[in-house]
A and B are shown apart, each in its own frame.
Chain A
Amino acid sequence: MALAGRTAKWWARLRSPCPAAAPICLLPRLPAACERQYSSRGKEKVDMSTYAVESIRNFSIIAHVDHGKSTLADRLLEITGTISKTDRNKQVLDKLQVERERGITVKAQSASLFYNHHGVNYLLNLIDTPGHVDFSYEVSRSLSACQGVILVVDANEGIQAQTVANFYLAFEAQLAIIPVINKIDLKNADPERVEKQIEKLFDIPVDECIRISAKQGTNVEKVLQKVIEKIPPPQCNTADPLKALVFDSTFDHYRGVIANIALFGGEIQKGHKIVSAHTKKRYEVNEVGILTPDEQQTHKLYAGQVGYLIAGMKEVTEAQIGDTLFLYKQPVEPLPGFKSAKPMVFAGMYPVDQTEYNNLKSALERLTLNDSSVTVHRDSSLALGAGWRLGFLGLLHMEVFNQRLEQEYNMSVILTAPTVPYKAVLSSAKLIKEYGKEEITIINPAQFPDKLSVSEYLEPTVLGTIVTPHEYIRKIIPLCQDRRAVQKDMLYIDEHRVMLKYLFPLNEIVVDFYDALKSLSSGYASFDYEDAGYQAADLIKMDILLNGNPVEELATIIHNDKAYATGKFLCERLKDAIPRQLFEIAIQAAVGKKVIARETLKAYRKNVVAKCYGGDITRRMKLLKRQAEGKKLMRKIGNVEVPRDAFIRVLKRQADK
């Protein structure tokens, strides 16, 4: 059996000349089902002292979405014996339910791999990263703990928008880059073409590329070897005082905060007293270990190594991402922290009932610990009570967050329409005094100041990069123009494909631009964007009314030009999203007092759940109860019952319904 064979070979090699004297207790990895037995509660610990700094490689895999990062990670785990080789290994590092369901990586996971090359035992720390445009923040965090990256490009698709974005992230961080061309097993693969693209765009010579098939395992071992050869070991010294960077953390109900750390100097073990540079609080280390990819305890962690730490932190704020940890009485210069991620989409989140407020509060705290790219502000609304306005990196991020809230914390919430952070330059002296400054940021539509008090409204913009085969240009350009975008650049990256750069108002792309782009280009076009400052805009606030009552969660701030179209769209979609009731419902979009769009939902005339025939009453009572439960999930606006997630239903793509 593959695993046993590998393990035996290791042990044989490990017993050969090795500097450290301590006996090795390397545990063989068992298939996922048995992992619990070898959790960090197990008695045997891994000895990390055998890995000198020179034998350590910290690297990430970066790529465009679906180019095969996670599959490559699976293969690497298999080859190094970290997991056994079975057919069931699919995206092993994607642990979140929502990740597995959607087939995406949301939260970067790490794994420590052991590999022997030319007689030397190497410790390879791999960090899997998300490919979706929303999660680029996670990528830069992971990169700070690495010295090199494997850049994966699909041999069929070639370089895509995110390939470029991630490359620049790595390049700017001065990391070694190993280009890998994946999916060579597919019929339409054209690795030669891709190699040329890489050379042209990234200036990396063709002979440095490795052609692999992660699915089949072809040449994957070569990748490992290249990692060892080309990626430098971390520049640090165990003799230095402890200096550890917290680059991620998870919250465990029983064990508290588990911080992912990368050691830049020194060593750390159970019993050490450490201090957080940020909070100045002192902790005692309970446990250290590595991730393989599940937690495995070790005696110590040494400089250059990556692993986890449990030190009795209970509060979510105690393990700040970007924080530096050092030993008590041995302070060090803190590592440069991270600049906080810029949220791109804001949505209000309110508990269904005010009695749930505290539960939601703690659920949010826990979830944001594991997802620190979400910004949280307290907010309140007349209709919905006390809640929060959360900032997300994108619409997918928001949907995933909501799903995780439901799945992992069992919380159902009311979500309001997405908005972006607008600004207004106030002209009313009174308001300037009230806010304390002339330029304010408007996150909640309720805060939208009236036109009379404002000299200028500003909207955030982004510079978007679209990479597409040239035959779709004639459809994509009108799409961008329709979104009030201004073309900034257009160049051919090879004979077939064009890269377009457009300046977009952020709110035009936040909801469904990506989907529209994908469907216009049959999926071939890719999109990425970065913040590009603010520009002046003609903004208004649009309300949605049901029988005259405003639906607060659907109020939006939009550009005047788009008011009618958006209003009509919202009304039509709402008509489908709201169940018919005993009376007619007038759905209207209004700007101030002026109604700009309207739909009418007819009353229902006969109860759908009539069920008139004879039969066990119990069955009928169950149906009635289920109806009653369903109603509890509704919000009442005036006397109209509206589903709690009305706005998501309204905005979701038709196919998803």
Chain B
Amino acid sequence: TPRPQWPYCRQRCSYCSFNKYVVPAVDEAAVGACLAREARTLLRLSQVQRWVRRGGAPRGCWDPSAAARSHPPLSAPQRHLCLLRRVTLEANPSSASAPRLAGFRAAGVNRLSVGVQSLDDAELRLLGREHTAAEARGAVEAARGLFPGRTSLDLLFGLPGQSRDAWARGLEAALGLCDDHISLYQLTLERGTALAAQVWRGVLPVPPQDLLADMYQAARDTLVAAGFRHYEVSNFARKGALSTHNLSYWRAEQYIGVGPGAHGRFVPRGEGSRSREARVQTLEPNAWMREVRSRGHGTRKRVVLSPLEQLEEVLALGLRTDEGVPHQRWGRFSPHLSLEAVFGAPGEALDLQRQGWLVLD
């Protein structure tokens, strides 16, 4: 799965700690071309195909035609890439007007994730978001029109000062608006962000642990009652509208990260390797572009994952989903030691099973 990352934003949200840059002018064509180039290189290297998800928390402030330009190169060299099944775009409500969305759809996007975060204007201001609740509604409605059954929205809870009731109201509003997929995230205060600084200075209150637990529980209850399946720690879907893209991530399948700061996990078979690697692309966009131009890709770091590390990832990610870690998947990474052998023997895992925290079957 190729995952292009667009590194530019018009402004930085108060809680954001991602690899994002705010610059006065962006040469979209150049960046787009580099993305395409890197994608091609890495696809050849990994021999991974299937589907594309563009964006990666932040959101397309992108000219749809630029998107189109980077698409065709993807499909050209590899014939089976025409079977590009799922192309997801993550978009900010402020840049998700109906015409733009239509443009993206024409370029080949067939799923949209809208970064709503909240449907309360005061909360949106606290988060430093660019849009209002009304704009968010408009974006979601437009998206649902163009991508019916394939629109997702993101929500944040646990904001400083947010009450249980405020969250309940937000959930109700979101339920009235949403399509069939919701991603729910607890706000995490990262060092270096404006919001964290405000909380640590004492300007904003720290959300108490028990309240956060209650909010999460309430969300779960509400969404499940509304027909959603809680298929991953942070993701809810109904009518089968699971994000197959993200599932590949939690199922420890292969994916390539394209763009500044993107990360990937794949076996570079194109080089003749048989080992799965963890890769990160150069963070700074200009440096990244230079590298892509000179050698085809801007991979900053590549680390071969040891079998143990791979298994740790399989476990940590798989346990986030409601399907867990199936024997078959485990067997791919651990051909000699089955799940029973590792987790059925006396020890902490067995104790956890006895206490009802883990299930092995």
Q: Select one of B188, B234, B263 contacting A617, CB under 8 A.
A: B263
Which residues of chain B are near A615, meaning CB under 8 Å? 18, 57
Cβ B188 vs Cβ A606 within 8 A: no
Q: Select one of B185, B213, B313 contacting A612, CB under 8 A.
A: B185
Q: Given A614-B56, A617-B313, do A605 and B188 touch, yes or no (CB 8 Å)?
A: no
Cβ A613 vs Cβ B188 within 8 A: yes
Cβ B186 vs Cβ A610 within 8 A: yes
Cβ A621 vs Cβ B316 within 8 A: yes
Nearest CB on B from A239, distance (A) = 71
CA distance A605 to B211 in the complex (A): 10
Q: Given A610-B233, A613-B188, do A618 and B263 touch, yes or no (CB 8 Å)?
A: yes
Closest chain A residue, CB of each to CB of B235: A612
Cβ A621 vs Cβ B209 within 8 A: no
Which residues of chain A are near B330, meaning CB under 8 Å? none
Within 8 A of A (CB), among B303-361: 309, 312-313, 316-317, 351, 355, 357
- Residue A168, interface by CB 8 Å: no
Cβ B186 vs Cβ A614 within 8 A: no
Q: How large is the interface on B (under 10, 10 to 19, 20 to 34, 35 or more residues)?
A: 20 to 34
CA distance A535 to B357 in the complex (A): 55
Cβ A613 vs Cβ B209 within 8 A: no
Cβ B278 vs Cβ A618 within 8 A: yes
Cβ A582 vs Cβ B263 within 8 A: no
Which residues of chain B are near A604, meaning CB under 8 Å? 209, 213
Cβ A612 vs Cβ B209 within 8 A: no
Nearest CB on A from B281, distance (A) = 11
- Residue A20, interface by CB 8 Å: no
Cβ A612 vs Cβ B316 within 8 A: no
CA distance A613 to B309 in the complex (A): 21
Which residues of chain A are near B263, meaning CB under 8 Å? 616-618
- Residue A272, interface by CB 8 Å: no
CA distance A292 to B278 in the complex (A): 55
CA distance A208 to B210 in the complex (A): 68
Cβ A613 vs Cβ B185 within 8 A: yes
Nearest CB on B from A529, distance (A) = 42
Cβ A621 vs Cβ B312 within 8 A: yes
Cβ A612 vs Cβ B234 within 8 A: yes
Closest chain B residue, CB of each to CB of A613: B185
Q: Given A606-B216, A616-B263, do A582 and B185 touch, yes or no (CB 8 Å)?
A: no
Which residues of chain A are near B233, meaning CB under 8 Å? 610, 612
Cβ B188 vs Cβ A610 within 8 A: yes
Closest chain A residue, CB of each to CB of B232: A612
- Residue A273, interface by CB 8 Å: no
Which residues of chain B are near A613, meaning CB under 8 Å? 57, 185, 188, 234
Within 8 A of B (CB), among A91-106: none
Scoring A residues 237 to 251 as 1 if CB is less than 8 Å from chain B, else 0, what string do you get? 000000000000000
CA distance A610 to B278 in the complex (A): 22
Which residues of chain B are near A582, meaning CB under 8 Å? 355, 357
- Residue B20, interface by CB 8 Å: no
Nearest CB on B from A585, distance (A) = 15
Q: Given A582-B357, A606-B213, A617-B317, do A612 and B186 touch, yes or no (CB 8 Å)?
A: yes
- Residue A611, interface by CB 8 Å: yes
- Residue B251, interface by CB 8 Å: no
Which residues of chain B are near A606, meaning CB under 8 Å? 209, 212-213, 216
- Residue A6, interface by CB 8 Å: no
- Residue B297, interface by CB 8 Å: no
Closest chain B residue, CB of each to CB of A625: B312
- Residue B144, interface by CB 8 Å: no
Which residues of chain A are near B278, meaning CB under 8 Å? 617-618
Nearest CB on A from B34, distance (A) = 20
Within 8 A of A (CB), among B199-215: 209-210, 212-213
Cβ B186 vs Cβ A621 within 8 A: no
Closest chain A residue, CB of each to CB of B246: A614
Q: Given A582-B357, A615-B18, do A620 and B316 touch, yes or no (CB 8 Å)?
A: yes
- Residue B280, interface by CB 8 Å: yes
Within 8 A of B (CB), among A576-628: 582, 604-606, 608, 610-618, 620-621, 624
Which residues of chain A are near B316, meaning CB under 8 Å? 617, 620-621, 624
Q: Select one of B56, B217, B313 contacting A621, CB under 8 A.
A: B313
Which residues of chain A are near B181, meaning CB under 8 Å? none
Closest chain B residue, CB of each to CB of A611: B188
CA distance A264 to B334 in the complex (A): 74
- Residue B105, interface by CB 8 Å: no
CA distance A605 to B216 in the complex (A): 10
Which residues of chain B are near A605, meaning CB under 8 Å? 209-210, 213, 217
CA distance A624 to B309 in the complex (A): 12
Which residues of chain B are near A614, meaning CB under 8 Å? 56-57, 246
Which of A616, A620, A639 has the most C-beta atoms of chain B within 10 angstroms of its own C-beta? Answer: A616
CA distance A621 to B19 in the complex (A): 19
Nearest CB on B from A233, distance (A) = 62
Nearest CB on B from A425, distance (A) = 47
Which residues of chain A are near B209, meaning CB under 8 Å? 604-606, 608
Closest chain B residue, CB of each to CB of A612: B234
CA distance A604 to B212 in the complex (A): 11
- Residue B12, interface by CB 8 Å: no
Closest chain A residue, CB of each to CB of B184: A612
Which residues of chain B are near A612, meaning CB under 8 Å? 184-186, 188, 233-234
CA distance A614 to B234 in the complex (A): 10
CA distance A615 to B263 in the complex (A): 8
Within 8 A of B (CB), among A44-87: none
- Residue B150, interface by CB 8 Å: no
Cβ A617 vs Cβ B265 within 8 A: yes
Which residues of chain A are near B280, meaning CB under 8 Å? 616, 618
CA distance A611 to B18 in the complex (A): 13
Nearest CB on A from B17, distance (A) = 9
Scoring B residues 238 to 273 as 1 if CB is less than 8 Å from chain A, else 0, what string do you get? 000000001000000000000000010100000000
Nearest CB on A from B112, distance (A) = 16
Closest chain A residue, CB of each to CB of B56: A614
Within 8 A of A (CB), among B105-142: none
Nearest CB on B from A18, distance (A) = 66
CA distance A315 to B18 in the complex (A): 57
Nearest CB on B from A90, distance (A) = 32
Which residues of chain A are near B18, meaning CB under 8 Å? 615
Which residues of chain B are near A624, meaning CB under 8 Å? 312, 316
Which residues of chain A are near B188, meaning CB under 8 Å? 610-613
Nearest CB on B from A132, distance (A) = 35
Which 10 A-B pairs give the minimum distances between C-beta atoms?
A605-B213, A606-B213, A612-B234, A616-B263, A612-B185, A613-B185, A610-B186, A612-B233, A614-B57, A606-B212
In the complex, 16 of the A-B residue pairs with CB atoms within 8 angstroms, ordered by the A residue number, are: A582-B357, A605-B209, A606-B213, A610-B188, A611-B188, A612-B186, A612-B234, A613-B185, A613-B188, A614-B56, A614-B57, A616-B280, A617-B278, A617-B317, A618-B263, A624-B316
* Residue positions of A touching B, CB distance < 8 A: 582, 604-606, 608, 610-618, 620-621, 624, 639
Q: Apart from A612-B186, A621-B316, list 16 A-B contacts with CB within 8 A.
A: A582-B357, A604-B213, A605-B209, A605-B217, A606-B209, A606-B212, A610-B233, A611-B188, A612-B185, A617-B263, A617-B278, A617-B316, A617-B317, A620-B316, A621-B313, A639-B351
